Amino acid sequence: METLNVGKTVAADAPFFIVLNSGSGRNDADETSDIVRRVMEGAGRRVEILKVGDASELANTARRAVELAKAQGGVVVAAGGDGTINAVAQTVLGQGCPFGVLPQGTFNYFGRTHGISQDTEEAARALLDATISPVQVGMLNERLFLVNASLGLYPQLLEDRETYKRQYGRSRLVALWSGIMTVMRSHRRLHIDMEQDGKTRSLRTVTLFVGNNRLQLERVGIEQSDDVHAGRLVGIALRDMSGLAMLGLLFRGAMRKLGGADDVIDFSFTQLVVKPRTGSRSRRFKVATDGEILWMEAPLVFKVAAERLPLLIPPPDQRKEEV
């Protein structure tokens, strides 16, 4: 891996290779492309936009962007929601090229945490003078996550949310309503054994959530949110409870008071190993990493990646307040 000049801006002639997921985010892909080209070309910078129409081609397109960036001393940029940013970051990590983002999603926790504007033109302009900063990355087995990884109820909530978005559009209100509908249904409980930093405990829970994003954890009132900047991840598990009790926790989280609730177990760790409880027939878990759903074989190992992601951070006068 190449050594990056952390804390410095990229070269003034470094080209930008932008992976744009046209099926992701709030904005029209052609409009986003036009904005980015206008900003980059207006500043005399080379830019190539690699559009992805089918999510199955996202990884291949990201690899192509990395190849181009390494050959030409350029920057790889992900334009899309947290899932798109995750997929491109998975390819960039360890390759020695800087990584930028143009947030296009509903919540944009990753971009907001690092002061990156949700406005495409402002975010593109900020890339021109951004500095390289190493950012902590979480790993679930071989999968990277920037914001969170989870199993149980939370992946189901994400699947339901996408269904509601297709019907009613992308908004935080639609996401909240979808969440209410999901938690009110009955759900299969997880019977798991967790080994946390050398200590083992058994747990029956509806969901296990692991966070790597301070802003998201702060927004629901988890006091250990600062631990994700100190080489640790934060786990959250809900005790076995009724749908009505979970609805109460959903609103408690919306009021930023989830931490400290009697039915919430929260803890920070360097490594967490999750297995089905002895005697369980299934060894497969449905998991979510930054909103992308997949199945994984146990054991599930959550940890901080050995390498950090070389993220382009806007200069101080262009950083946005966390909202």
Reported as a single tens digit per residue, the pLDDT across 35-85 is 999 999 999 999 999 999 888 899 999 999 999 999 999 999 999 988 899
Q: Are residues 73 and 206 in the same domain?
A: no
Residue 28 DSSP SS3:
coil
Q: How many domains does the chain have?
A: 2
Q: pTM of this prediction? A: 0.87
Q: Are residues 56 and 195 in the same domain?
A: no
Which CATH number does the domain housing residue 247 bear? 2.60.200.40
Reference 124, options 105, 100, 147, 106; nearest CA is 100
Q: Are residues 78 and 119 in the same domain?
A: yes
Q: Cis omega (within 30 of 0) on the bond before 299?
A: yes
Contact 113, 217 (CB under 8 A): no
At 110-123, the pLDDT tens digits run 999 999 999 999 99
Bridge partners for 44 per DSSP: none
**In the predicted model, what is the mean pLDDT of residues 87-93?**
96
**In the predicted model, what is the mean pLDDT of residues 87-112?**
93
Q: Are residues 167 and 288 in the same domain?
A: yes
**In the predicted model, what is the mean pLDDT of residues 246-260?**
67
Q: Is residue 190 part of a domain?
A: yes
CA–CA separation, 100 and 98 (whole Å): 7
